Structure 1
Amino acid sequence: MQDRLTRVIMLAVAVLLAILVVQPYVDSYLFSARTPRPVAARGDLSELERSTIQVFETVAPSVVQVVSLSRRSPRTEAEPSESGTGFMWDAAGHVVTNEHVVASGSGFVVRLASGEVLPAEVVGQAPNYDLAVLRLNSRTGLPPPVMVGSSADLKVGQTAYAIGNPFGLDQSLTTGIISALKRRLPTSGGREIAGVIQTDAAINPGNSGGPLLDSAGRLIGVNTAIYSPSGTNAGIGFAIPVDVVNRVVPELIREGRVPTPGIGILAADETVAAQLGVTGVIVAGVAPGSPAEQAGLRGVNPAVGAIGDVIVGVGDEPVRRLSDLTDSLERAGVGQTVALKVMRNDSTRTVEVRIVDIGQEPSRPRRP
């Protein structure tokens, strides 16, 4: 009786082992998808998805890749050097990009979204705004210009879209929000751009010069820089506001340059003002014959230890730092007269000063 029980147990174990060995093969035969699987139906796209797709499909054809060419020697042909992004500005073939994209190139080509490559020439550069305009040599079959919006009514938190060519990968779309407004950004021209837009839409090397768009697909800024210790996206990107772009680009197309509004002063370093506890722009020196000298502004006088006049306002706007002053002068424009509030010896007075194009003025500010 015991032997029979043993045999039954051994048989049961053998059957279980057989099942364990055979089961994978059975499962493979019965359940493997050996033919294409049926496609599952999906619901409608969300409203946000449809909006994003529409923005990309509308604007992407007008976004181009700008490739800078450099010549190493007279015996070598031009070779690709740097690339950035640009976008169509008008039907005449003008393309807007960053000034730093074209600053070091000797020649340029533009690759359209269709893949067509066209030669281009620079018609104007504005280092003070990091903007440049190129003109395509061909006028036929060009994509439409990007719609222009406004940056004056932007709100922190609204959706932002960036289209560009990060790392040379063309037609890339990133999305995010407007993270902050009224940032200030130094430029290679030695000035600051006021009202700069901060966004967390991913901006990487190669995105420079590309459009920043709102949810209606309108241009609200030109992507220009990122803040990143590693050189790649860290969630903090900056764009030149479109209201500045819409003022500067026509000047570049007409004149090839943008006037630099000024009054002919040399401003003291802002750290000096901070150390002295002064709020405003300390006039370190004035240019001979300049509007500042004509208005009676005084610079630093080291002989008596006087710090010079301090500009504390333009019209009804306060001036706390140099960028406040330059921003006010730019908004007023060359040829206009502004009322400067100037503090001297603890008393404040108002003087009328004419704004000139200091980029064409031969004289230079001097220190007393």
Structure 2
Amino acid sequence: MGPVRRLAAVPAVLPVSAAVTATAAGGATAAQVAAVAAKVDPALVDITTVLGAQNAEAAVVGYDRGADIAVLKLSGATGLATATLATGTTVKTGDPVVAIGNAGGTGGTPSAVGGAVTGAGRSITASDESSGSAEQLTGLIEVNADIEAGDSGGPLLTTSGQVIGVDTAASAGFQYQASGGDGYAIPIATATTLADRIRAGRSSSTVHLGATAYLGIETTDSSRYAATTGPAVLGVVSGSPAASAGLARGDVITSVAGSTVGSATALTGLLDRYHPGDKVKVTWADVAGQAHTATVTLATGPVG
């Protein structure tokens, strides 16, 4: 939820029932949706993130970008209600489900929609408009519930209120492509296995421990924008490491820390090797084709 899908959190803790919208044909009924929303609402939290914020209340423990799962640590959080996880449940096509989230990323009362499972083991290609990177998510639960932008990170539940998955959906600046279906969720068993691995401090080629390193640029693959191979800069965030280094719109990044960067996706993966505060050498070509090199100190950014 929120504007950054990769650090998507779950909806707000509120004493009122979630706003309920129409249910998809053949899925959970409106009454079931309302009952599940009221039951699970106390166990949901809404997390708002700000880039590089000081005195934050939720730190990033780690994440698996390819699986779309992040673990956060809350400061001073005690006595919180918890939801029941259906880690041993087999999800079948036709099962009625309820999806809860922050539809539209507007915050406030969580939204809840009904539907049914339409498939398992599905794959989608997810692309980030700001970074220009693309990733494939696999092993997903497909549902015909109307999961919207902002719902990502919210729970997918049975009609008895057990969590069977984590919604993964398009949010502001993020899109996915797949054939058929209205929404997708990561099986809860997959999510908990990854979360346990992250909490145990076991990094890997896909698991990043700690906060995300941030360069401060919006990119796209240069094949669509410039002749030089590499991610092309569409925009630079004011005050970011990229801005301090002199990067500008139209530049094409060719290497980071001595490693050649051939695409926006490769740049995202390369930066995942580093952490905020790390110094890396960035090489790029400007619109005239002239090469530039600068050493930048990476800032703290979103899991995006």
Q: TM-score, normalised by structure 1?
A: 0.40
Which has the larger helix fraction?
A: 1
1 or 2 for the larger relative contact order (CA 8 Å, sep ≥6)?
Answer: 2
Q: TM-score, normalised by structure 2?
A: 0.48
